[in-house]
A and B are shown apart, each in its own frame.
Chain A
Amino acid sequence: MLEKVNEALEFIKEKISLVPEQAVILGSGLGNFAESIVDKIYIPYSDIPHFPLSTVRGHAGRLVIGQLSGINIIAMQGRFHYYEGYDMKETVFPIWVMRLLGIEKLIVTNAAGGINTDYKPGELMLIKDHINFMGSNPLIGPNLSSMGTRFPDMSNAYSSRLRDLIKSISYKLNIPIREGVYASMTGPAYETPAEIKMLRIMGADAVGMSTVPEVIAANHAGMEVAGISCITNMAAGVLDKPLSHEEVIKTADEVKDKFIKLVISIINEI
């Protein structure tokens, strides 16, 4: 695995002249964020040795590397989902590559369903913690000891320092943000109302099909992580209507301006 990570790393290093300091993973509908990056280059995933290919609608599949307010950043436009059939190690492969590129701070974003009935579609949620309901874990197998320890701590998986910072930025920008627990399920079927009720009882505020594997790998590798969900729809059973991917994309699109503004400020102030 490490050899593959290194080959991908060498390929990317040859393409870039700057050393990225921060990384952002762009969730469903947030791909436009990359437009704010200047002096950028694109590296399609399909060009990078050992990178899997993103297949889902609404996700491009490339790295965008450039500058944002003078800060060197790398953005993942499109991510690898477990439901696409990748194994857990493939879904977190880019995290390992970014870690070896020198990235120490990671912002992950996603589109999620609201379980907490106080939430409304279009709101943002700062991820306070997560529950892994995927039935697998990206760290299963021999430990990559050059990345981190066999039994990594997850007690501060979403950095409390960054969360405090993000809350103060959200206040300053007048972009309200909730704070809650994100549960990840495999998908790709949306959850049943009974599953959502269970997740609510277990303490989840939002549900999605990504992020958790990446955050586990990033923490293992010693990165400081912040996570933000865009609540694009209410989860099954909250409202008396079916769920659709179109609704998810539509809400994400409506929210993207404030979401992008917030993420840019976070990058500036980290």
Chain B
Amino acid sequence: MSYIDKINNAYEYINNILPCRPQIGVVLGTGLGTLADHIENKVIIEYNSVPDFPVSTVEGHAGRFIFGDMEGKKVLAMQGRFHYYEGYSMKEVTLPIRVMKKLGIGMLILSNACGGLNKAFSAGDIMIIKDHINLIGDNPLIGANLSEFGPRFPDMSQTYDHELIELCKKIASRLNIKVHEGIYTAVSGPNYETKAELNMLIVAGSDAVGMSTVPEAIVARHCGIKILGLSCITDMAIPDALVPLSHEEVVRVAEMAKPKFASLVKEFIKEVNIHESL
């Protein structure tokens, strides 16, 4: 079966279940899944019921779409995502983004939990992604171009939409939530980085490091979806002060950051003018 057939099969299945067209997509990162609790009139679609969908395996991630109302907008949230380190191909990792595009989504909020490399950050802080560096060593657009979605050589000079970033900063300031802006670097994982690797990432200009988001952002830009990227800094990855890191610690800090993350995203969804940004 071709990749396009898989996208279409998943799309047809989900589109038949949804009562109306979603306006905003949200990918919920590690520990941030409970934002979906704020969605009303929920329609839940388990990934394992969707034809040709991969299945999420990592702890701390459920694996389902939650569609419904949030602050007057129709939202389709992904509780659980597909990571390259789980063994999925880049095309599998980003299949849900193609499906979201077909469902009519023009704006996407990508969130993740990640390590902070910038000394001005602290665990529990939120970083708005200004730009990214792809150090995964692979790219989801390799292979024949899906020309019905976008061009062969898509521009990435403004992957994360400036207007959405400005709006998010304004809202954060009003809600008195401290946010940073920075460069997110994606590595394959699943092992956490060595000190030497962290040093290299800092030299390369990174403010945070994680194992997701970039493939999805590349594909979303390819098909013209506007992106807001939000990182929850769950641990500080400063090479000369590195302590052994566990996934439990990452989930614990993400839990603590959840309330402010939820307020920020909810308020953003309330205020964003999707017609203007589409």
Contact = CB atoms under 8 A, between A and B. Distances in A.
B10 to A, nearest CB: 22
A202 B204 CA distance: 8
Interface in A195-235: 195, 197-198, 201-202
A270 interface: no
The interface residues of chain A, by DSSP majority, are classed as loop
Nearest to A192: B156
A71 B205 CA distance: 49
A155 B98 CA distance: 43
Given A84-B144, A197-B205, A201-B203, A190 B154 contact: yes
A119 B142 CA distance: 29
Interface in A240-264: 241-245, 248
Interface stretch (A121-129, A144-152, A167-175, A181-189): A181-189
6 contacts: A187-B142, A189-B222, A190-B154, A192-B159, A195-B132, A237-B157
B249 interface: no
A191 interface: yes
Interface in B151-201: 151-159, 183
Contacts of B145: 188
A89 B142 CA distance: 15
Interface in B130-144: 130-134, 136-139, 141-144
B139 A236 contact: no
A189 B154 contact: yes
Contacts of A188: 139, 141-142, 145, 152-154
Contacts of A57: 152
B139 A186 contact: yes
A55, A83, A192: most-surrounded residue (chain B CB, <10 A): A192
A193 interface: yes
B267 to A, nearest CB: 27
B274 to A, nearest CB: 22
B183 to A, nearest CB: 5
Nearest to A202: B204
Contact of A236 (B137, B155, B183): B155
Interface of B: 130-134, 136-139, 141-145, 151-159, 183, 203-206, 218, 221-222
Nearest to B144: A85
Contacts of B205: 194, 197-198, 201
B134 A83 contact: no
Given A85-B143, A201-B205, A190 B152 contact: no
Interface string A25-56: 00000000000000000000000000000011
8 A-B pairs with least C-beta separation:
A135-B137, A85-B143, A194-B131, A198-B204, A242-B155, A236-B157, A245-B153, A194-B183
A93 interface: no
Contacts of B137: 134-136
A75 B178 CA distance: 59
Nearest to B185: A194
A80 interface: no
Nearest to B221: A189
Given A190-B154, A243-B155, A244-B155, 20 more contacts: A56-B152, A82-B142, A83-B139, A84-B144, A85-B142, A134-B137, A136-B137, A187-B139, A187-B142, A188-B145, A189-B139, A189-B218, A189-B221, A194-B130, A194-B206, A195-B134, A198-B205, A201-B204, A237-B157, A244-B153
Contacts, number: 92
A189 B143 CA distance: 12
Given A192-B133, A194-B205, A241 B156 contact: no
Nearest to A194: B131
Contacts of A198: 133, 204-205
Contacts of A186: 138-139, 142
A55 B157 contact: no
B5 to A, nearest CB: 17
A193 B204 contact: no
B157 A189 contact: no
A240 to B, nearest CB: 8
A237 to B, nearest CB: 6
Given A186-B139, A198-B204, A202-B204, A192 B132 contact: yes
Contacts of A241: 157
Contact of B158 (A135, A189, A242): A242
Nearest to B151: A245
B142 A83 contact: yes
Contacts of B218: 189
Nearest to B130: A194
B152 A245 contact: yes
A194, A236, A237: most-surrounded residue (chain B CB, <10 A): A194
Contacts of A202: 204
A237 B157 CA distance: 6
Nearest to B131: A194
Nearest to A83: B142
